[in-house]
């Protein structure tokens, strides 16, 4: 498991509010069927990093958002994220997430689908508690983008190995919600258009870096640290940034061609490929790309209030590329 | 298939707006993956009755709602309904709905789950276009109630044959969205609390009648008319109102005891039971209960503006019990 955000100094300015978010999340199934409460408790207990709520709370602290509406937004973002994970893991047949068994390994598909739906409903309710139509609108659009991305991936088949496609994919999968976390927060704070744009860029750049690092960790981590099997992307024929750099450097690699074309790839090719990607400089190139996103994120904060939250956002951005690289 | 609402006079006052709702629904996947557009087209082409949008539009017409916000609400309600059907049919393994193949018979479970999710996102977006935080809040709560009802049914097992349970079940499954259709419309119209309560009762009573009649039709219809296999509820051990009346009249019926306890029920018992329920007066009792709900619905309109839409709402309420009984 990764280091807990609680051990990091940049959450300090929002520690109390983060606890409020946590409490708000945990009570969302109160009064409903006990099975939903149990499922929600299981999902929340898995020690997710809560990076999105932290990002939301720090942004809102910097911009002076109303605390109640801010906590609702942070909870809404995490709930939406959790709901999408429930359906994702079901669809992918994932067995483990964040080091604990996924819901779909313990429950029927039917119960898993419905639990995800319930969490969508609660995300929508929490979003409504921000009392901003514009934020709700953005929020619902983000869900459409996330799902559209998954459908595109589902129908796209294996081995699409181009950069435009990769960027679009990680934007839909991860980054759009990061971008919405900061942008919607500026909306509920009643910020100027310039400020909104600055924090949107911050969310966007941090989100891109976050997913690139996740994709790197899939190559470099150990299974127990990652909380899921290593190289699961490559195994599924999903070509992420390190593999794209590898293909650019070694366009005629036969193992990669086999992997892209076959399911599963021929005996031994995955191991050989993993070693080649790890040792061929592709990881470093992907790391540099993530660092570039983080630098651009930090730049976008230049004209924003010089407060403790702004400093913490810079620290958060740096943490994202330093996590395990 | 049932008679089209287009042939009924009570839609006359809202015919143009209903077309706007239809157009709005059809464009919700524009700009997203072609597979989603195809799925949405398939779902909307199935000739659903659009009873919820008609109810919404008539209520809004009576209360003088802003047309744009009203059309958004009517579309949101139908989209939410459609999204829940997609996941329902997947979970139940239903093959046919409204006389055409369900999405899950044509697509993988993964694609079906995601399509439902996309439609939830679009329902949320349409709800946001009503520009009423209170209406959005109610709308999200209704989704939680619907899903909670399905989870309760899923974990409840077969053969729960009591009336309180039945009422709760059909409230969650169907009626809550009818109630929200009228109540949210009064909210966006800025109606008084009295008016809100009156139309809430109308939506509630009409919704209860609607589901009771659906449950009766499951016993009395022919397969081709129903658009799905007859007696599918009883077959699954789902005890609806006609069966509850039957149990009250014949508490020692051995076939019913078998059906409740066994899955599937012993050879021949389903046929015998169907005949017994059809001929034993239970259908008539359930019909009378539906008619009582309709009478209460019509009563609730007493103090509302005497306009063409109010008369059409009365006609709509009467249509609900007269459909195929």
DSSP string for residues in A44-113: HHT----HHHHHHHHHHHHHT--HHHHHHHHHHHHHHHHHHHHHHHHHHT--EETTEE-HHHHS-HHHHH
Contact A118 B33 (CB under 8 A): no
Question: pLDDT grade, residue B262 (50/70/90)?
Answer: confident
> Vertex A129, ends A180 and A75: CA angle to 5°?
55
Name beta bridge partners: B96. Answer: B101
Nearest-CA distance B52 → chain A (Å):
20
Give the model's pLDDT for residue B223.
62
Return d(Cα A220, Cα A223) in angstroms, integer.
Answer: 10
Q: Map tokens 């008369």 to a residue.
A: B311
Is the Cβ of A270 closer than 8 Å to some Cβ of chain B?
no
Where in chain B are the domains?
5-322
Name beta bridge partners: A96. Answer: A101
Q: Which of A137, A184, A77, A234 is nearest to B133 (CA)?
A: A137
pLDDT at B325 over 60: no
Is the Cβ of A109 closer than 8 Å to some Cβ of chain B?
yes
pLDDT at B146 over 60: yes
Return d(Cα A73, Cα A282) in angstroms, integer.
Answer: 37
In the three-class reduction of DSSP (H, G, I as helix; E, B as strand; rest coil), residue B319 is classed as helix
Which of the pair, B215 or B47, is modelled with greater confidence? B215
Q: What residues have CB less than 8 Å from A312, skipping those under 6 apart?
A: A9, A10, A11, A12, A13, A14, A58
Give the model's pLDDT for residue B264.
65
Token digits of residue A89:
């893991």
In this structure, are residues A27 and A63 in contact, taking their beta carbons and an 8 Å threshold?
Answer: no
In the three-class reduction of DSSP (H, G, I as helix; E, B as strand; rest coil), residue B97 is classed as strand
Nearest-CA distance A286 → chain B (Å):
28
Q: How many residues does chain A have?
A: 325
Report residue A145: phi and psi, to 5°: -65, -45
C-alpha dist (Å) from residue A252 to A239, A255, A256, A266: 16, 9, 8, 17
Which of A81, A115, A147 to substitute to test the interface with B, most B CBs within 10 Å? A147
Question: pLDDT grade, residue B3 (50/70/90)?
Answer: very low
- CATH number for region B5-322: 1.10.600.10
Q: Dmax of chain B from CA atoms?
A: 59
Mean pLDDT of the B52-76 span: 98
Is the Cβ of B117 closer than 8 Å to some Cβ of chain A?
yes
Q: Map tokens 């459409």 to a residue.
A: A144
Q: Summarize pLDDT for B216-245 with one digit per residue, the tens.
A: 999 988 765 656 667 888 888 889 999 999
Give the model's pLDDT for residue A1.
39
Peptide bond into B277 cis (omega under 30): no
Chain A partners within 8 Å of B113 (Cβ): 87, 90-91, 113, 116
Nearest to B87 among A84, A113, A131 (CB): A113
pLDDT at B142 over 80: yes
Give the model's pLDDT for residue B270.
84
Is the Cβ of A152 closer than 8 Å to some Cβ of chain B?
yes
Q: Would you write out chain A's pLDDT as a tens digit for each of its 325 residues?
A: 344 555 678 999 999 999 999 999 999 999 999 999 999 999 998 777 899 999 999 999 999 999 999 999 999 999 999 999 999 999 988 888 877 888 888 888 999 999 999 999 999 999 999 999 999 999 999 999 999 999 998 888 666 678 999 999 999 999 999 999 999 999 999 999 999 999 999 999 999 999 999 999 999 887 656 566 678 888 888 899 999 999 999 999 888 888 888 766 666 788 888 889 999 899 999 999 999 999 999 999 999 999 999 999 999 999 999 876 4
Return d(Cα B275, Cα B271) in angstroms, integer.
Answer: 6
Q: Which chain B residue's Cα is nearest to A37?
A: B148
Q: Lowest-confidence range among A36-50, B75-89, B251-265?
A: B251-265
pLDDT at B256 over 70: yes
Name beta bridge partners: B97. Answer: B100
Return d(Cα A292, Cα A18) in angstroms, integer.
Answer: 29
Mean pLDDT of the B112-123 span: 97
Give the model's pLDDT for residue A70.
98
Q: Which chain A residue's Cα is nearest to B39?
A: A151
Which of A87, A118, A127, A128 to substitute to test the interface with B, most B CBs within 10 Å? A128
Chain A partners within 8 Å of B124 (Cβ): 124, 127, 136, 139-140, 143
């Amino acid at each position: 498991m990764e280091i807990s955000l609680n051990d990091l100094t940049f959450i300090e300015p929002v520690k109390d509010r983060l606890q409020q978010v946590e409490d708000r999340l945990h009570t969302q199934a109160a009064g409903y069927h006990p099975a939903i409460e149990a499922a929600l408790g299981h999902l929340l207990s898995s020690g997710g990093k809560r990076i999105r709520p932290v990002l939301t709370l720090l942004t809102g602290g910097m911009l002076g958002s109303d605390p109640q509406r801010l906590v609702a937004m942070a909870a809404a973002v995490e709930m939406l994220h959790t709901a999408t994970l429930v359906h994702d893991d079901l669809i992918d047949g994932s067995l483990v997430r964040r080091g604990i068994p996924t819901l779909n390994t313990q429950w029927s598909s039917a119960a898993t689908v419905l639990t995800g739906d319930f969490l969508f409903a609660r995300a929508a309710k929490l979003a409504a508690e921000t009392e901003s139509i514009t934020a709700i609108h953005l929020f619902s659009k983000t869900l459409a983008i996330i799902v559209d991305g998954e459908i595109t991936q589902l129908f796209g088949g294996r081995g699409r190995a181009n950069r435009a496609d990769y960027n679009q994919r990680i934007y839909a999968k991860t980054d759009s919600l990061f971008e919405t976390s900061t942008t919607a927060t500026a909306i509920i704070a009643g910020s100027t258009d310039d400020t909104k744009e600055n924090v949107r860029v911050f969310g966007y750049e941090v989100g891109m870096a976050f997913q690139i690092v996740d994709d790197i960790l899939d190559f470099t981590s150990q299974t127990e640290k990652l909380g899921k099997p290593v190289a699961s992307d490559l195994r599924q024929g999903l070509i992420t940034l390190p593999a794209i750099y590898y293909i650019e450097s070694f366009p005629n690699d036969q193992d990669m061609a086999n992997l892209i074309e076959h399911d599963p790839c021929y005996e031994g090719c995955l191991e050989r490929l993993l070693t080649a990607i790890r040792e061929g400089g592709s990881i470093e190139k992907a790391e540099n790309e993530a660092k570039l996103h983080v630098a651009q994120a930090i730049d976008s904060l230049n004209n924003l209030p010089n407060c403790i939250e702004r400093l913490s956002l810079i620290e958060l951005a740096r943490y994202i590329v330093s996590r395990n690289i």
